Amino acid sequence: MEARALEHERRLAESHGQEALKHAIAAAEIYMRAAEKAANPKDRNRLQRKCSDLIALGERLKANAKSATTSARPPVPESTRTLTIAEKTLILKSSKLHGNIFPPWEKTPGPDEFATSKAPDGCYTDHSPFTLSPEQQDIFAGWKRPHEIFVHVPERGSDIFMTAAESIDLGQDLATDCSVVASLCAAIRQFGPRTGSLLSSLMYPYDEDAKRPAVSQNGKYIFRMYFNGCWRKVLIDDRLPTSSSERTLYVVDRRNHHLIWPALIEKAYLKIRGGYDFPGSNSGTDLHALTGWIPEQIFLQNDDIELNETWNRIKSAYDQGNALVTLGTGKLSREEEQTLGLVREHDYAVLDLRNDGNNRLFLVKNPWRDSLVWTGVGSTATLSTDRSETPEESMSNTFWMTFEDVLQHFDSLYVNWSPSLFRFRQDYHFTWTIPPKAEELVFTQNPQYSVLSPTGSPVWVLLNRHWQDSELDILRERKQEHGFHQPLKSLGYMSLSLFTSHPPGTRIPLSEGSHHALHQGPYVDSPNTLLRYSPTPGVAQTLVIAQSDLPLPSYSFTLSFFSNSPLTISPASDPLPYNETITGAWTRRTAGGSTVYPSYVTNPQYALTLTRPSPLSLVLSTERADNLPVHIAVLYSNGGQRVTAVVGRDLICSSAEYQRGCTFASTLPSSNTSANTNTNTSSTTSSSNHGGLIDPGTYTIVLSTYEPGQTGRYSLRVSAACPFTINPILSDAAGRLRTPAPPLPTTSGHNNGNSTNGEARVVRARVDVIRLTRASVLARSVKTQSTTMVRVALELGTIEGRKRVLVSTASGGGGELAASLSSLSLSDRLGGIGGGHDGHGTEGSEGYTTKGEFADASLGLRTREVDLDPDVIRSYGGLWLVVEQIGGGGGGGGGNQGQITEEGEGGGVHVEVLSDGVVNIGAWEVADED
């Protein structure tokens, strides 16, 4: 049954008028019957929502059909979904800006709104403050009404204030709003009567017969502007800021200085942006607020820009009246400004697009009065001379440029598209508390949406960040620091991207590895960003909102989906329902580096306990995205104890080899079938990971950086399909006594402590305990210019003169970290942790030759823990701490309270014992090597 409804939706996307209405009604009826028969409450609710959306769409199609018969403009889609209480509350809270309230638009104002008021002068006065810059204040001559400014107009309210010449030539002077004036210049063709006048639905009062704004009898004007998530009511009076000089503080028409409706639009917009000391914007953003048209920013310096495709789609829409075009320059030197005739960090209007022979041409207007114009150096923008000049060409500060010149000298092309290009729209409003710096690179706390389309017809998604008072404060502060030309980069960046996911439409943790980005939008410093894509029919895809350096703790957003087929949209759910985030840091003591270093065991470790079989997903991110490669490993570890050795068979899952800033490990199937599974998923054991499921139990998570000593804060998010617990595993020294050995002797009878020809210097010290004590040995060389190779062991001396190695450091390479060579079993009353399996350990010769290879002591060496029983020690004739050393020298020693010293005489080796009881270490003596 649902398949039949989807077929009607597909046909709905391909049809128009009554045919589209028929398919909408048919699909709604099928969903209604399916909802009545659905046994699952979740399915029933989903089908009922689909039915409601299609009914609302049908009503909209009826209204559009009626509107199309009475208006020259095509119908504009409105969002059909019902807002939640939280969304309605958000919209109302976003009404407050700069001490003013801009309520959501409810209805068209009637004539009574503009009738003569009861005030003494019969005029309405808006007492809202409008701030001015110091330069503007120097010439400010007060707020005056039109009849006070233009004293020679025969009567107040004359139509001359609203009547334009054949073409309007707008100019900006002392107001710092080039993007606003450029927007007005670009929109003039849509504001005039030739195009059905977009102003008729944006400015009131409006004269429908004359197709122009009407004069308000009481000086009140109401504007319908789109910002902060919806159409809103903006109310102003007709007073304009006047000047005591020839300079002007508001936009003027060079051909009719009495024309004030452009200045009234400017005033209404500047009211919502904070005042006439406008700190900066871009024309795409301004036109979105003024017209509600969908803004797109095209970065012209992007190497991926497709020249022909970009020109063709913009030119076609422009010719049909469905696109407004503006341009923005980037940073230019003073010399470049004079040579090119272009102003740096400045917005320009595009008044026309034309093909002239082999040239693709932009007619560009600089909104500044008496300013620079394009000099045409190196330009091929030469038009044919066998034609008359258009009204647009005769305007001041206009010039033609080829598309190639535009690409070379401008940074951004702003296109605002008519929403009438689409038939369906859905708006979602949400707040987002910006995650901490350590989680900026991952998507664990980012808003994500599942988007499903029944067809492959294009989908456009617009993200709009709501304005806040605090942003204006930041911009003004930035302007004071950097002058007039200041970027908006201080407000941070945001982006939209689309991903495949497994299962389809579920949340993804980050954009690396197994998560394949279908479309990855640029990070923009604008409050709007647009993502255009063609969906995979019938497959849910995941839309992710990302940010970088947004300065405020919390923001409100609106996400608008435009399409020509109905979409199924919902917040994306987690693929695994149980989640927990923990934070920590790699410090000088805990940044142990990768598995090639013996100090790997000092990295932060966590015990993870699963209550039943479950897949597992882990996301690790850091604050140091630029230079901190990180890694995750999940291992067997005897009930979640601290890992002291990494063996391949113990590895449950791991992230890809060290990745900068963030990484991901999971036992879930990859959503990117083309990805290399060896780099995106872990090695797994045959006994516990079946189809991504991990057996119940306790495991150890190890978080590491690539090199020892790489410090930084991190955030770890763990996800599973069942309840779990995760707790930090204490370091070796936690709750342990630190007993430093005496400083190693500087001489040993072999070249004053420096071995030659690879000969080892061997020393030993007597170790005593008074009760059963668990202990391990740590050794590290102090800073030295030479390499010190060391082996360390605890050895029992036997009655017959033979010895038994209880525990020893290992090679330090190949992943075998600080492994015990052997130990006696618990049955021998001296149990080595992780020791031999035969219960006897390894017996050596009478000399003090420990098993295992030498390792570089500068990396840090350690043994496994071993139980020291005083009775066993006595029965074997004593316990010895043995150090074999090649290279370097003595003189390291214990230092202050067992702390490893940073410098030592001659650069020796520091040795200490960590234990849960008192350990006594005697003096060093040279061991007999014969």
How much helix, strand and coil, in percent to the nearest 5, is found in the chain?
25, 30, 45
Q: Is residue 682 part of a domain?
A: yes
Whether residues 748 and 886 fall in one domain: yes
pLDDT value of position 801:
58
Q: Is residue 451 part of a domain?
A: yes
pLDDT value of position 494:
95
Is 366 annotated as catalytic? yes
CB-CB contact of 841 with 804 (8 Å): yes
Task: Supply the Cα-derived Rg of the chain in whole angstroms.
Answer: 37
The residues near 620 (Cβ < 8 Å, ≥ 6 apart) are 630, 631, 632, 655, 662, 663, 664, 665, 703, 714, 715, 716
pLDDT value of position 54:
79
Whether residues 428 and 495 fall in one domain: yes
pTM assigned to the model: 0.78
Q: Which domain holds residue 530?
A: 423-571
Cα(537)–Cα(564) distance, integer angstroms: 13
Whether residues 608 and 478 fall in one domain: no
Last residue of a domain, one of 693, 728, 763: 728
Burial annotation 645-683 (CB, 10 A radius, 16+ → b, else e): bbeeebbbbbbbeebbbbbbbbbbebbbeebeeeebbbe
pLDDT value of position 97:
94
pLDDT value of position 833:
30
pLDDT value of position 904:
39
Given the residues 282, 322, 359, 366, select the one marked as catalytic.
Answer: 366
Whether residues 770 and 918 fall in one domain: yes
Whether residues 710 and 658 fall in one domain: yes
Q: Is residue 219 part of a domain?
A: yes
Cα(663)–Cα(438) distance, integer angstroms: 12
Whether residues 272 and 310 fall in one domain: no
Whether residues 483 and 372 fall in one domain: no
Whether residues 412 and 463 fall in one domain: no
Is residue 219 left, alpha or beta, with left meaning phi > 0 and alpha meaning psi from -120 to 50? left
CATH of the domain at 612: 2.60.120.380
3-state secondary structure of 800: coil
Is 653 annotated as catalytic? no
Six-digit token string for 109: 């104002």
Last residue of a domain, one of 291, 308, 340: 291
Given the residues 8, 23, 288, 346, select the one marked as catalytic.
Answer: 346
Whether residues 216 and 346 fall in one domain: no
Whether residues 695 and 789 fall in one domain: no
Write out pLDDT tens, residues 90-127. 999 999 999 999 999 999 999 999 988 777 778 999 99
Helices 178-191 and 261-273 meet at what angle, rounded to 10? 130
CB-CB contact of 216 with 301 (8 Å): no
CB-CB contact of 416 with 284 (8 Å): yes
Cα(791)–Cα(91) distance, integer angstroms: 69
CA distance readout (Å), 556 to 51, 277, 549, 573: 29, 25, 16, 21
CB-CB contact of 411 with 489 (8 Å): no
**How many structural domains comprise the chain?**
6
Cα(448)–Cα(564) distance, integer angstroms: 22
Q: Is residue 95 part of a domain?
A: no
CB-CB contact of 259 with 163 (8 Å): yes
Whether residues 359 and 340 fall in one domain: yes
CA 748 to chain centre: 60
Average pLDDT, the chain: 81
Is 837 annotated as catalytic? no
Cα(169)–Cα(252) distance, integer angstroms: 8
3-state secondary structure of 923: strand
CB-CB contact of 587 with 32 (8 Å): no
pLDDT value of position 141:
94
Whether residues 252 and 307 fall in one domain: no
Given the residues 51, 123, 178, 185, select the one marked as catalytic.
Answer: 178
Residue from 181, 279, 176 nearest 490 by CA:
279
Task: Give the chain's residues under pLDDT 50.
Answer: 67-71, 156, 378, 381-382, 385, 484-487, 672-688, 748-756, 784, 811-850, 890-907, 930
pLDDT value of position 802:
56
Q: Is residue 78 part of a domain?
A: no
Q: Is the peptide bond before 205 cis (omega within 30 degrees of 0)?
A: yes
Last residue of a domain, one of 527, 552, 571: 571
| DSSP label of 154 | S
pLDDT value of position 890:
47
Burial annotation 713-742 (CB, 10 A radius, 16+ → b, else e): bbbbbbbbbeebebeebebbeeebbbbbbe
Q: Is residue 60 part of a domain?
A: yes
pLDDT value of position 676:
35
pLDDT value of position 481:
61
Q: Is residue 84 part of a domain?
A: no
Q: Is residue 97 part of a domain?
A: no
